[in-house]
A and B are shown apart, each in its own frame.
Chain A
Amino acid sequence: EAQVTQNPRYLITVTGKKLTVTCSQNMNHEYMSWYRQDPGLGLRQIYYSMNVEVTDKGDVPEGYKVSRKEKRNFPLILESPSPNQTSLYFCASSPDLALSYNEQFFGPGTRLTVL
């Protein structure tokens, strides 16, 4: 089944404890992206990747890191989480660089709470 997977689905952690949220897609997509979703603010892009080893900042990159060592994986790293990073996180992928005309496929989401 073609899909985007994320792990963990739910995570409660404490301030300052490094964490990684994994994202994997099995559709051979070039483009991958991370969003956070907060009430009243909608989906905001954190980082995106056009291809392996190519990543760039989105609209809200502060406090996050990403890497794209393999085409299928795009982990999101929070080196020192803070309470304002409590949010619902979505990973998404898209077939190719011509994003304008391509659907983004979303993972199931990761609900993160930072105490």
Chain B
Amino acid sequence: QKEVEQNSGPLSVPEGAIASLNCTYSDRGSQSFFWYRQYSGKSPELIMFIYSNGDKEDGRFTAQLNKASQYVSLLIRDSQPSDSATYLCAVSPLYGNKLVFGAGTILRVKS
């Protein structure tokens, strides 16, 4: 079992729709959870992080965390073609000074 799992996609949504990206993790003691966006040929950039159960909103983005289910998601409201990218879920485990990344989900927003 991979430590951090994501559906590779591609996930295709029409412009203006809500895109829902999901991530599960295996280390129950994980503390912090990050969503990075990576455009093709570019480096990852942080969108949001969350460390408490529940929802965290920032503009069009909402991160949701459920530690009991070991599940974290990212919702993108009013999706735009510029949101088309690979979204990487990253988890900070209880032990170890590192982030563990999922393989990423490709999102395509069609205008």
Q: Does A33 contact B (CB under 8 A)?
A: yes
Docked CA distance A33–B100 (Å): 12
With a cutoff of 8 Å between Cβ atoms, the chain A residues found around residue B102 in the complex are 42
Within 8 A of A (CB), among B28-59: 31-32, 34, 42-46, 49, 51
State whether A31 touches B43 (Cβ < 8 A): no
The verdict on A40 contacting B43 (CB below 8 Å), with A48-B97, A99-B92, A103-B49 known, is no
State whether A90 touches B44 (Cβ < 8 A): yes
With a cutoff of 8 Å between Cβ atoms, the chain B residues found around residue A66 in the complex are none
State whether A99 touches B43 (Cβ < 8 A): no
State whether A100 touches B51 (Cβ < 8 A): yes
Docked CA distance A45–B90 (Å): 12
With a cutoff of 8 Å between Cβ atoms, the chain B residues found around residue A48 in the complex are 97-98
The verdict on A100 contacting B32 (CB below 8 Å), with A90-B43, A106-B44, A107-B43 known, is yes
Within 8 A of A (CB), among B1-53: 4, 8, 31-32, 34, 42-46, 49, 51
Within 8 A of A (CB), among B84-106: 88, 90, 92, 97-104
Chain A residue, CB-CB nearest to B41 = A109
State whether B99 touches A101 (Cβ < 8 A): no
Q: Does A73 contact B (CB under 8 A)?
A: no
Residues of B within 8 A of A (CB): 4, 8, 31-32, 34, 42-46, 49, 51, 88, 90, 92, 97-104
What would be 8 A-B contacts, judged by CB atoms less than 8 Å apart? A33-B98, A40-B8, A42-B102, A48-B98, A100-B32, A100-B92, A103-B49, A106-B45
